[in-house]
Amino acid sequence: MSTTSTASGTGRKPVVIALAVIGVVAIVVGVLWFVGAAPSFLNVGSHVKHGGHLFRGGVAAVIGLGLLVFAWIQNKKS
């Protein structure tokens, strides 16, 4: 076992964890938008006060799933 493979494996671990956590948070936010229970701070600065919740929820869910898949791929590489 070389030190290079060990160093790259441990250096990638925090990135994988961060991607997974952000992915889960994005999915939770997407679900909150789907059910219409999103906190008001998520709508700050938005000119759309009514509607658009399904679109925002869908985008958040897709981004969350994408981050989880990317974290899984990065974890498999190590």
Q: pTM, whole model, 2 decimals?
A: 0.73
pLDDT tier at 2 (50, 70, 90 boundaries)? very low
pLDDT at 10 over 80: no
Compute the average pLDDT of residues 2-23. 75
Note the maximum CA span of the chain.
Answer: 58
Compute the average pLDDT of residues 31-43. 78
Compute the average pLDDT of residues 31-44. 77
Helix axis angle for 53-77 and 3-35, nearest 10°, is 160
